[in-house]
Structure 1
Amino acid sequence: MQATDTATPPGTEAPLPWGSVWGQDAAVDVLRDAASDPSAMTHAWLITGPPGSGRSTLAYAFAAALIADPADEAAEQVMRQVLAGTHPDLTALRTEGVIISIKDARALVERSYFAPSLGRYRVIVVEDADRMVERTSNVLLKALEEPPERTVWVLCAPSEADLLPTIRSRVRALRLREPDVDDVAALIARRTGVDHAVAEQSARHAQRHIGMAQRLATDAEARRRRDQTLRAVLGVRGIGDVVEVAGEIVQAATEDAKALTAERDQAERASLLRTVGVAEGAAVPPAVRAQLNALEDEQKRRATRSLRDGIDRVLTDLQSLFRDVVLLQHGRADGLINRELEPDLRALAAAWSPARTLSVLDRIAETRRNLEQNVAPALALESMLITVSSGRTP
């Protein structure tokens, strides 16, 4: 594993399993010590940080350090297995739906009581632990409170506040640092080879979310859609604009979601048919249809999650837009996220009061919460944009 994302000089070998963790030296030190020193170890951890900060990457690196025995000659191979997600002592829940189901939580709890089969520990990694509703969280409580001696839970979430107090009281929390825009830009330029100006703009627009910055930097169409959406919202004046722009946002998010999931869906379908011996283009036997229907149902749930995530990214961009307006209203031009729109933002800052801008920011935050509760995206966006338009002059 090459150390392209760490402070290790290029061309040198990064230390396993931490080589893919970028910009989180303090957190790595804590987890490395815990993995090597039983007195520093605890049975349940919560890794928090904003989207794109590397929560999951760090969780799997920690799992690899826990499961592999450093005294074993095969330690490096074991670590690579864990990082690839194929080691039998690693159980990971990657959320494909809008929420984590009780069924999935119960399966995790059952798995947590198995003794390690090959490694030093059994590790349960829960990505997006904030997507558990209260009754699902309650399923985990006893397992977190009294786990077997050699089982370790690693939960990932944006913040401690995203989990119930009963969960937070049973874990050791580790907060990740937020990287600077310049640091993310340098990383993206190094990873992708794009021009530094594009990397800087992408890092700024992504608000330091590494994965999103990389996508913006390498996808001109994604950059165009973002710019078009923000300009459309700035141009909203009345109900007609509200309905049109809300529809455009949902349509763009739908197309984006399809682009992200279509290739994977097709590959999964082909793999399933190949596994059960159905030739490409052949009719699907009745005995296989149930399996195919189950796969398609799972893919539909994933598509719903992808669509809502896409709309949430748009709302995050809109929050950055009106945050910039607040800065300008208070005489601050440094630190603008959307510098390319500064003339429009200055005009809006002059036309609105700071209280008006803050009310719009509150409405966007409320819309994000409503979408988490499965409110129809188009209706939620229309309601939000009415708030935006009511502060504009025709």
Structure 2
Amino acid sequence: MSLGEVFGHEPAVRMLRQSLAEQRLVGAYLFTGPPGVGKTTLALALAAAAACPNPRDDPFDACGACASCRAAASGQHPEITLIQPAGDLTQIWQFWDRDQKPAGALQHTLQYSPVIGCKRVYIIERAETLTLAAANSLLKALEEPPPYVLFVLLAPSPARLLPTVVSRCQVVRLLPVPVETLGAWIEAKAQLDHNMALKVAEFAEGCPGHAFRLAGDSRLRQEMDRILDIAMQLPTATPLSCLRLGDDLRKAAAAIQGMLGLETETGTESITDSSSPEDSAQEPARERAGRRQIAIVIELLAGLYGDLLSLNVGGPAARILHVDRRSQLAEMAARRSTDYWLTSLEALLEARRRVDQNANLPLLVDGLAMRLAVG
């Protein structure tokens, strides 16, 4: 991956290229943005360009042909190190040697100049998972790295890291790509039809990584349609059938964990079972997986109900996301008042906020199903 191939983040790429061309790279960068927005992709492209001994000029980029670039492209570059959490946390022993642990990534390499390329690059994924000891152990290295070392930390937000870490980095914010722009890219990249590409882009919330993963997995697109089918039953559901539909939504949420890159086998249980708070506290990874999956389902429902509100207010020709369901949605939108659709959409947005506030997931989904039926 070269800087020229990074999609959707032209301002950040332009700034990094200028710094590379003028040899003004700082020792540590912090790339922030939501999961799937492209932080790792940009970090790897920057690493390849910084390490390349024969870079292209105007615009600056890796040559793609030297030994360093070939090693970077294969993911086997010995001087570009990707450090990921060991489970839920990134521990101090992943950087510095500790008894009965594997060799630390920095302990035996930081003091040595690179041999293959021009830079030794350390990319710390999910830097928000750094333990206090691990974060503090990096402070001196981040503040005064050797001239041949480049650190790139990746996190959703600077607020998720220690201020002392953030102050030693140059922050580069990566924003979600506009839905129309991402849809056009997915349409060309994955050869989807225009309407499906727009749905994928909307569902991915402007994050190219999520969108590309979804576009390449027909099973996930089928699950997305199944969730919409369930949602369209809610406005006419009886109180008893609401509970069944709520259970169907939780099961559908469990089925989309592949989109998140979460291969946990226990993710389903966290959203389909009413486990005790003690159990949830002991299994934070499972809980996070469940919450993200439920959040995606609610966001998908919000898109559908936004279409219903638009059709109710603007008529059958209103601009909507799910154009393949236009006639069915237009008929449904006309059956209820504008206030009903507006109240339902507000209920969905409130439920989405409560997911992040550690609400009980089964109770949240069942309550939401009841509110969408009653209005």
* TM-score relative to the length of structure 1: 0.67
Is 2:114 aligned against 1:117? yes
Range with greater deviation from structure 2 (114-123 or 325-334): 325-334
Aligned equivalent of 2:221: 223
Cα drift, residue 367 of structure 1: 1.3
Aligned equivalent of 2:28: 44
Cα drift, residue 92 of structure 1: 0.3
Cα drift, residue 28 of structure 1: 1.5
Q: Deviations over 1:55-103 (max 9, x none)?
A: 2111101011112222799963312312332111111024574444454
Between the aligned partners of 1:244 and 1:335, the Cα distance in structure 2 is 32
Between the aligned partners of 2:63 and 2:201, the Cα distance in structure 1 is 41
Amino acid aligned to 1:50:
P
Between the aligned partners of 1:96 and 1:253, the Cα distance in structure 2 is 26
Between the aligned partners of 1:134 and 1:104, the Cα distance in structure 2 is 13
Query: Structure 1 pair 26/96, CA: closer, same or farther in 2 (3 Å)?
Result: same
Q: Deviations over 1:147-182 (max 9, x none)?
A: 333221112233333434333222111123433333
Cα drift, residue 199 of structure 1: 2.1
CA contact (8 A) 1:20 1:57 kept: no
Between the aligned partners of 2:149 and 2:353, the Cα distance in structure 1 is 37
Over the aligned positions, Cα root-mean-square deviation in angstroms equals 4.3
Cα drift, residue 202 of structure 1: 2.2
2:16 maps to which of 7, 15, 31: 31
Aligned equivalent of 2:161: 163
- Residue pairs, 1:1-394, within 5 angstroms: 17-38=2-23, 40-70=24-54, 76-95=66-85, 97-104=87-94, 107-108=104-105, 110=107, 113-118=110-115, 119-132=117-130, 137-233=135-231, 235-236=233-234, 244-257=244-257, 309-318=292-301, 320-321=303-304, 336-338=320-322, 340=325, 342-343=329-330, 347=336, 349-351=338-340, 357-358=345-346, 360-368=348-356, 370=358, 379-387=360-368, 389-390=370-371, 392-393=373-374
Query: Structure 1 pair 258/358, CA: closer, same or farther in 2 (3 Å)?
Result: closer
Q: Deviations over 1:166-217 (max 9, x none)?
A: 3322211112343333322222222222323322332233333323333444
Between the aligned partners of 1:77 and 1:301, the Cα distance in structure 2 is 42
Cα drift, residue 141 of structure 1: 3.4
Amino acid aligned to 2:251:
Q
SS at match of 1:45: strand
The alignment-based identity, stated in percent, is 28
SS at match of 1:23: coil
Range with greater deviation from structure 2 (118-127 or 309-318): 309-318
Question: Which stretches in structure 2 are left out of the alignment for 5+ residues?
Answer: 56-61, 97-103, 266-282
Query: Structure 1 pair 366/189, CA: closer, same or farther in 2 (3 Å)?
Result: same
Question: Which stretches in structure 1 are left out of the alignment for 5+ residues?
Answer: 1-15, 266-299
SS at match of 1:116: coil
CA contact (8 A) 1:44 1:171 kept: yes
Cα drift, residue 334 of structure 1: 7.1
Between the aligned partners of 2:222 and 2:20, the Cα distance in structure 1 is 45
